[in-house]
Amino acid sequence: MAQFNLPKNSQVTEGRTWPAPNGAKAIQTFRIYRWNPDDGKNPRIDTYHVDRDDCGPMVLDALLWIKNKVDPTLVFRRSCREGICGSCAMNIEGQNALACTMGIDECKTPDNALPFLTRKDKDGAVRIYPLPHMPVLKDLVPDLTNFYAQHAAIEPWLQTETPAPEKEWKQTPEDRARLDGLYECILCACCTTSCPSYWWNGDKFLGPAALLQAYRWLIDSRDENTGERLDGLHDPFRLYRCHTIMNCANTCPKNLNPAKAIAEIKKMMVERAV
């Protein structure tokens, strides 16, 4: 179940319903979270009607259609539209996903998706919210400042003691293969914002994305700072708040498994201790 951080002393209200396009034969309704920190008003849910015959197949296509043809004030992040940058991560139909890789036809409302569903939300409309449990900057744009700071905290770069080689640090194909399933992370924050442990301890627990990145450097055969990296993670909150609920693996748009990476870090901690 996803929950959302609302501005202080506010509640979500019913917003504007925009008229359906004239002559459209295939219409898809979208219910989108809107909030402007500058107008002093409550967050609201605006309703839009998209002409599917004039729009691409992905949720991001629909958002661009709305912004270009209906409401230019709608704010969201996006970049390359190829599912490799993570910019357009948002909560779509109760699940965290990339708008550029989520097809409109894939959107289905789970019965237990959100606790505040209204009858209007269950009439076939696609509901879109910002990533849960993050402060919202505006509309569908979350504040990822803490998320990026936690990623920086694991020092995601190669650390060595020996002098650098003239050309490059070499690695066997077998050692390189150990990084598969780790380096592909695009830092979209879908996994981290779906993690209940992060919801409760986001100021202390590093979260699935940062810990997956930490494991990627821990097992890199070229890195020579394993002990110090493990020392930095040996904390009751930074690592051990993970309870292997598996929300992170279930929601990852790249089909990665942060929970497995976290378990491997815990295993390395035990092996070092004995």
Least confidently predicted of 121-125, 198-202, 218-222, 238-242: 121-125
Helix (H) or strand (E) holding 232: helix 226-233
- Tokens in use for 118? 């209204």
- Pairing relationship of beta strands 89-92 and 126-129 according to DSSP bridges: antiparallel
Mean pLDDT of 229-248: 93
Q: In this predicted structure, what is the pLDDT of residue 110?
A: 55
Mean pLDDT of 248-268: 97
- Tokens in use for 1? 């179940």
DSSP tally for the chain: helices H, then strands E? 8, 8
Mean pLDDT of 60-80: 96
Q: In this predicted structure, what is the pLDDT of residue 83?
A: 85
